[in-house]
A = this chain, B = another copy of it.
């Protein structure tokens, strides 16, 4: 691998000149510049980034932490992060934390080792110590989640109002007993969606029923299991709103396995609009989040913080959209 010295020797100039050709070409006379460029090409020279990093004391790496990249929701957010970061000359290191304290600690250590220039966190727990510890060391941006009263920049939708919106859609279809399969209560956005659900009930004059609220873990299996639990209630729900699409798909499966029809007997709604949502049968009513854009925007925000640019709007809220499909209605006029 050719170094800057090899290029300098071949072009018969000093290493300083070679370096300048790359960083400040205008400070080098066209003639020598030409010479140097030729030498670079001849040797296929690339500056060693490890040396650049050390010298500049920055790595051009962003760490993207998420609970699990296998989750299709996160993986699309991640693509937004990845693509925008690459455009800006940054590399992305992914970390799946599995919401595991040990692993989280490893990533904090990475920051202590000056490993990255910033962090994007795509989920947040009620327990904010982890976030605080990260933010204390490097610029941090929250994607997907907004923590009320928190100082950290964030990009998200309004989970509460979106949940309210989709719950009201179910109520408008005539449902009086609407169940909710929530996400883990330790996660902030789970709480926001649950809150939105409850608000919709109250605003519609319905009373909540403890038995109709179950806490899942965002997996297909938990949706399946909890729907079964709901269906075996003596007074089962006629509609189920799951806090994400995977739990909703699991719930639909449980319902159909029992020979019950969706949406005629039980309506099902999800959240996120993952790709497969429109390809299950019946297709799934859900809230569409601009996942890719959330990822992109969080990188934009983070880069501003890294470059000490002022943020005119630290907490960005993007638009969501209610997507009505066949899992909640047979009325073709409602379905997009």
Q: Which residues of A contact B (CB under 8 A)?
A: 1, 44, 46-51, 53-54, 57, 59, 61, 68-70, 72, 75-76, 78-79, 82-83, 86, 91-96, 103, 106, 109-110, 112-115, 220, 224, 246, 249-250, 252-253, 256-257, 275-276, 279-281, 283
> How long is the Cα–Cα vector from A21 to B45 in the complex, in angstroms?
37
> How long is the Cα–Cα vector from A60 to B70 in the complex, in angstroms?
24
Q: Which residues of B contact A96 (CB under 8 A)?
A: 79, 82-83
Q: Which residues of B contact A57 (CB under 8 A)?
A: 50
Contact B46 A113 (CB under 8 A): yes
Q: Which residues of B contact A224 (CB under 8 A)?
A: 279
Residue from the set A92, A94, A224, A279 with the largest chain B CB neighbour count within 10 Å: A279
> How long is the Cα–Cα vector from A91 to B269 in the complex, in angstroms?
38
> How long is the Cα–Cα vector from A103 to B93 in the complex, in angstroms?
17
Q: Which residues of B contact A256 (CB under 8 A)?
A: 281
Q: Which residues of B contact A252 (CB under 8 A)?
A: 281
Contact A113 B68 (CB under 8 A): no
Assembly stoichiometry (copies): 2
Contact B106 A86 (CB under 8 A): yes
> How long is the Cα–Cα vector from A194 to B204 in the complex, in angstroms?
56
Q: Smallest CB–CB gap between A57 and chain B, Å?
A: 8
A282 to chain B: closest residue by CB: B256
Q: Smallest CB–CB gap between A182 and chain B, Å?
A: 19
Contact A276 B46 (CB under 8 A): no
Contact A109 B279 (CB under 8 A): no
The 4 closest A-B pairs by CB, nearest first: A46-B112, A50-B53, A49-B113, A50-B54
Q: Which residues of B contact A246 (CB under 8 A)?
A: 276
> How long is the Cα–Cα vector from A59 to B50 in the complex, in angstroms?
8
Given A44-B112, A49-B114, residue A279 in contact with residue B92 (CB < 8 A): no
Q: Which residues of B contact A114 (CB under 8 A)?
A: 1, 46, 48-50
A283 to chain B: closest residue by CB: B253
> How long is the Cα–Cα vector from A57 to B54 in the complex, in angstroms?
12
Q: Smallest CB–CB gap between A267 and chain B, Å?
A: 16
Given A94-B92, A114-B49, residue A79 in contact with residue B69 (CB < 8 A): yes
Contact A76 B82 (CB under 8 A): no
Contact A220 B276 (CB under 8 A): yes
> How long is the Cα–Cα vector from A283 to B257 in the complex, in angstroms?
10
> How long is the Cα–Cα vector from A93 to B64 in the complex, in angstroms?
10
> How long is the Cα–Cα vector from A279 to B47 in the complex, in angstroms?
50
> How long is the Cα–Cα vector from A280 to B220 in the complex, in angstroms?
10
A44 to chain B: closest residue by CB: B112
Contact B280 A109 (CB under 8 A): no
